Amino acid sequence: MPKVLLPTPLRPYAGGSSSVEVPGATVGEALAALVERHAALERHLFDEGGRLRSFVNVYKNDEDVRYLDREATAVSPQDSLSIVPSIAGGSSPIAVDPVTLSNEEIRRYSRHLILPEVGLEGQKKLKAARVLAVGTGGLGSPLAVYLAAAGVGTIGLVDFDVVDDSNLHRQILFGTSDVGKPKLSVAVRRLKELNPNVEVVPFEERLTSENALEILRDFDVVADGTDNFPTRYLVNDACVLTGKPNVYASIFRFEGQASVFWAAKGPCYRCLYSEPPPPGLVPSCAEGGVLGILPGLLGLIQATETIKLVLGGGESLIGRLLLVDALSMRFRELKLRKNPDCVLCGPRPTVTKLIDYEAFCGIVPEPADAGVPAISVEELAAMRRRGDPFVLLDVREPHEIEICALSGSMRVPLGELTENLHRLSTADEIVVHCRSGSRSAKAVAQLKQAGFRKVRNLAGGILAWADRIDPSVPKY
């Protein structure tokens, strides 16, 4: 007979049992048999019209029956049915017993305290909560600021970067006078100034397979604000292995995604994307750009989901992928299902410990342009001084060339190179450059494949030129 697994709050209505075996060939029949045997359960599971209450989810094994055939879903004697009430008041994992609020805190949080959904109990949960933000960049900045303002008692921050000018258009933890300083020391000061009741725990290091489980151990919720695939898979895997919820967001140009991955209650990131894209296929924000407000929007969605998890209220993004398009200002939502074959959170996992995520994401230690012949900016300057005959090919986009360009260059964006090969001669000496040297390395590889022999990459691109040859060239 199929087995029905009952959550703790429902057990008193079933004589204290945690599981009940019932006859039935469908979910509906099994639940009917269950309430026939334990009549006190009925009003908790069904409304007056006999419909399953909206805040009660039923899973057949690992699958939410809403994505199968609902109550008509077939069950076999080996199956188990889990009744999972959606996150409602009281299901928060945070223990609040020893926590008290001072009069200053009561004044500070008064607009929270008068919300019945938060109240004194909820504010104590926030104070007792321990949230880890991985990254204090575009997503982590607004996330940490709002968590501190809201009174989340302990905020862990993982970052090892220093503040750069190009961070300031979105990383609102930092100001102009912070450029060059370690991000974490600035962040701790700023958050403590905002709310001295909050404890900020800095981890000034890169999150790695060696330290991740140790760092995550003491936190209740993890918010992933990273910008690269190795760390994103590392955060996901570490959260699944330690049973923590992973509040996820990612951004690119004008678009963002957000969800909550929590293997105990729904899918994990690997259920969605079991493998990373090959290196170079998806450009980073440093290559592709990002609208400054976008990480603000997504970081606040993460902060909202984090606070809901702590309070144990509302409807979480677990099992839903929110897609945000800032250009059209449209929010769409996709259903996410737990992948029954997930290598990590499935019933037969093959990933049972943290792995080498750089290798998993195909990132090799050598620079991407290894094997491509290159020249330095100093050599290029000497060639120009001597008046050597050569073609300087700039493969950046037109809007980048508007910012800065080297005189006398031929301009063909990387994406249009193949259809413009006829403009180049294999007899010519060619030097290719871009912003940093990575797109131009790809161009050199393409040109060599097309039969060009005398072609070289400008190492470091126009950024290196600005640093070492001509400081009047603006860096972007």
Give the catalytic positions in this structure.
Answer: 285, 434
Name the minimum Å distance from CB 286 to Zn ion. Answer: 29
Taking contact as CB under 5 A, which single stretch among the options 80-88, 127-135, 216-224, 340-348 is the one that binds Zn ion? Answer: 340-348
Name the minimum Å distance from CB 417 to Zn ion. Answer: 40
**Nearer to Zn ion among residue 270 and residue 442 (C-beta):** 270
Do residues 264 and 84 lie in contact, with contact meaning Cβ atoms separated by under 8 Å?
Answer: no
**Nearer to Zn ion among residue 240 and residue 395 (C-beta):** 240
Q: 């990254």: which residue's tokens?
A: 135
DSSP code of 396?
S
147-150: long-range contacts at Cβ-Cβ below 8 A with a sequence spacing of 24 or more? 147/303, 147/306, 147/307, 148/191, 148/194, 148/195, 148/198, 148/200, 149/194, 149/195, 150/112, 150/126, 150/303, 150/307
Which sign does the torsion angle of CA 20, 55, 130, 342 carry? positive
239 binds Zn ion (CB under 5 A): no
- The tokens describing 98, both together, are 């020893």
Taking contact as CB under 5 A, which single stretch among the options 16-24, 136-144, 261-269, 459-467 is the one that binds Zn ion? Answer: 261-269
Mutual angle of helices 140-150 and 293-311, in 10-degree steps: 40
Name the minimum Å distance from CB 273 to Zn ion. Answer: 10
Count of residues touching Zn ion (by CB under 5 A):
6
Name the minimum Å distance from CB 249 to Zn ion. Answer: 18
270 binds Zn ion (CB under 5 A): yes
CA distances from 459 to 230, 409, 439 (A): 25, 16, 11
3-state secondary structure of 3: strand
318 binds Zn ion (CB under 5 A): no
**Ramachandran category for residue 110: left, alpha or beta (phi over 0 → left; psi -120 to 50 → alpha):** alpha
- The tokens describing 434, both together, are 């871009």
Q: Which residues pair with 335 in a beta bridge?
A: 320
**Nearer to Zn ion among residue 60 and residue 108 (C-beta):** 60
268 binds Zn ion (CB under 5 A): yes
285 binds Zn ion (CB under 5 A): no
Q: Would you tell me how many other CB atoms lie within 10 Å of the CB of residue 358? A: 18
Q: What are phi and psi of 146, to 5 degrees?
A: -75, -35
* Gyration radius (Cα) of the chain, Å: 28
Name the minimum Å distance from CB 347 to Zn ion. Answer: 11
Do residues 261 and 316 lie in contact, with contact meaning Cβ atoms separated by under 8 Å?
Answer: no
**Nearer to Zn ion among residue 345 and residue 412 (C-beta):** 345
- The tokens describing 338, both together, are 């737990």
Taking contact as CB under 5 A, which single stretch among the options 31-39, 49-57, 109-117, 270-278 is the one that binds Zn ion? Answer: 270-278
b/e sequence 99-111, b meaning 16+ C-beta within 10 Å:
bebeeebeebbee
260 binds Zn ion (CB under 5 A): no
Name the minimum Å distance from CB 145 to Zn ion. Answer: 31
**Nearer to Zn ion among residue 158 and residue 345 (C-beta):** 345
> Closest residue (Cβ) to Zn ion?
342
93 by Cβ neighbours in 10 Å (0-12 / 13-18 / 19+) ranks as middle
- The tokens describing 473, both together, are 């060239």
Please state, in angstroms and rounded to a whole number, the distance separating the CA atoms of residues 449 and 370. Answer: 15
Name the minimum Å distance from CB 339 to Zn ion. Answer: 6
**Nearer to Zn ion among residue 319 and residue 460 (C-beta):** 319
3-state secondary structure of 196: coil
Counts of helices then strands in the chain (DSSP H, E): 17, 18
298 binds Zn ion (CB under 5 A): no
Taking contact as CB under 5 A, which single stretch among the options 32-40, 62-70, 103-111, 263-271 is the one that binds Zn ion? Answer: 263-271
**Nearer to Zn ion among residue 22 and residue 344 (C-beta):** 344
342 binds Zn ion (CB under 5 A): yes
Taking contact as CB under 5 A, which single stretch among the options 12-20, 127-135, 269-277, 441-449 is the one that binds Zn ion? Answer: 269-277
DSSP code of 318?
B
Name the minimum Å distance from CB 318 to Zn ion. Answer: 12
271 binds Zn ion (CB under 5 A): yes
Q: Of 158, 200, 324, 345, which one interacts with Zn ion (CB under 5 A)?
A: 345
Taking contact as CB under 5 A, which single stretch among the options 137-145, 262-270, 325-333, 381-389 is the one that binds Zn ion? Answer: 262-270
**Nearer to Zn ion among residue 5 and residue 343 (C-beta):** 343
Q: E strand or H helix at 471, and its extent?
A: none
**Nearer to Zn ion among residue 184 and residue 268 (C-beta):** 268
Name the minimum Å distance from CB 460 to Zn ion. Answer: 40
Q: Which residues bind Zn ion (CB under 5 A)?
A: 268, 270-271, 342, 344-345
